[in-house]
Amino acid sequence: MRVLLIAPPGAGKGTQGALIATHFGSPHIATGDLLRDHVARGTELGRSVQDHLAQGELVPDDIVLEMVRAAIVEAKAGGNGYVLDGMPRNLAQARALYEIALGLDMTANVALHLKADDEELSRRLLARAALEGRSDDTEEVIRRRLAIYHEVTHPIVEWYGARGILVSVDAVRPIERVARQILTALEAMRPLVDLVPEHARRSIDLTGLGAAFGKN
Ligand code: AP5
């Protein structure tokens, strides 16, 4: 499966992305992790983006697109799809990513949208701050990250809806319940994704199905 995750900060892209990747044996390509790794190693790229990360601003599109292109080339060689977490973040990235993936015959089968409200997201990120101390998990920077999500990232959900590959999930439930619903949906779709052309697909909204998978 080739899955990309679109969700606000704290919705669980990293958490669910890792579980999906393990389930399908796919590489988990997380742009935030790749960028933080560069910062931690003090590479030239890391030095050029560290202020963006600390302030919760998006890093320039060309930097992340190049990183992701290389990761998708590697994923293609691995032959087990990919789970892309943290990209795209705006419409320009969504379009450029599509062109890159099309050229590699590796376009996404599913765009997974994790839905959660800002209050819950802030609560999760502040709780993580106490444990991990990520430089962008401060109240002020969390506010900025959420604002950027609403302004420039959330609008791409509609773009994936129009492509018919959108699957929406309620992410305000315990981690394992969210995971169970995602993996059930992806397993059900797996035999079909390469057979049904994109223009014949329809978006799937699972947010009302909480009870079936355990609401709490
Ligand atoms: P990135 O690393 O992608 O950060 P983010 O989008 O802010 O998301 P987070 O990692 O904070 O949250 P998440 O959704 O992954 O949730 P998680 O599973 O960790 O990006 C960081 C920065 O890099 C950006 O601000 C930007 O500067 C730059 N960047 C990255 N990609 C870019 C791009 N494409 N273009 C430009 N710039 C880019 O969970 C969060 C917490 O909640 C954890 O403690 C977890 O245990 C907990 N949790 C998760 N799920 C649940 C649940 N269901 N219930 C209770 N707790 C939960």
What is the 208 CA–ligand 1 centroid distance (Å)? 24
Could you tell me where the beta strands, DSSP code E, fall in 48-198? 82-85, 110-115, 166-170
Is 20 inside a domain boundary?
Answer: yes
Q: In this predicted structure, what is the pLDDT of residue 197? A: 75
Model confidence pTM above 0.85: yes
Which atom of ligand 1 is closest in space to residue 35's alpha carbon? 23
Which residues in the chain come in under a pLDDT of 50?
Answer: none
CATH number assigned to the domain comprising residue 147: 3.40.50.300
Q: Whose alpha carbon is nearest atom 6 of ligand 1?
A: 9
> Is the residue at 153 inside a domain?
yes
Left (φ > 0), alpha (ψ -120 to 50) or beta: where does 21 sit? alpha
Rounded distance from Cα 196 to ligand 1 centre (Å) = 31
CA of 12 to the centre of ligand 1 (A): 7
Domain that holds residue 111: 2-31+81-210
Rounded to whole angstroms, how far apart are CA atoms 20 and 96? 24
Domains of the chain: total: 1
Q: Ligand 1, atom 34: nearest CA belongs to which residue? A: 87
In a domain? residue 42: no
Whether 63 is in a domain gets the answer no
3-state secondary structure of 152: helix
Q: Return the ligand 1 atom nearest residue 175 CA.
A: 53
How many angstroms separate the alpha carbon of residue 185 from the centre of ligand 1? Answer: 22
Q: Ligand 1: residues within 6 Å at CB?
A: 7, 9-15, 31-32, 35, 52-53, 56-59, 64, 86-87, 89, 93, 124-125, 128, 136, 145, 171, 173-175, 178
Strand arrangement, sheet containing 28-30: 28-30, 82-85, 2-6, 110-115, 166-170, 204-205
Residue 8 inside a domain? The answer is yes
The reported pLDDT for the residue numbered 168 is 96
The SS3 of residue 2 is strand
Residue 10 in domain: yes
The residue whose CA has the least distance to atom 40 of ligand 1 is 10
Residue 53 domain-assigned?
no
Question: 136 alpha carbon to ligand 1 midpoint, in Å?
Answer: 10
Confidence at residue 211, expressed as pLDDT on a 0 to 100 scale: 59
pLDDT at 190: 87
In a domain, 44, yes or no: no
How close is the Cα of 11 to the center of ligand 1, in Å? 7
**Residue of minimum CA distance from atom 52 in ligand 1:** 175
What is the residue with the minimal CA distance to atom 26 of ligand 1?
58
Q: Is 84 strand, coil or helix? A: strand
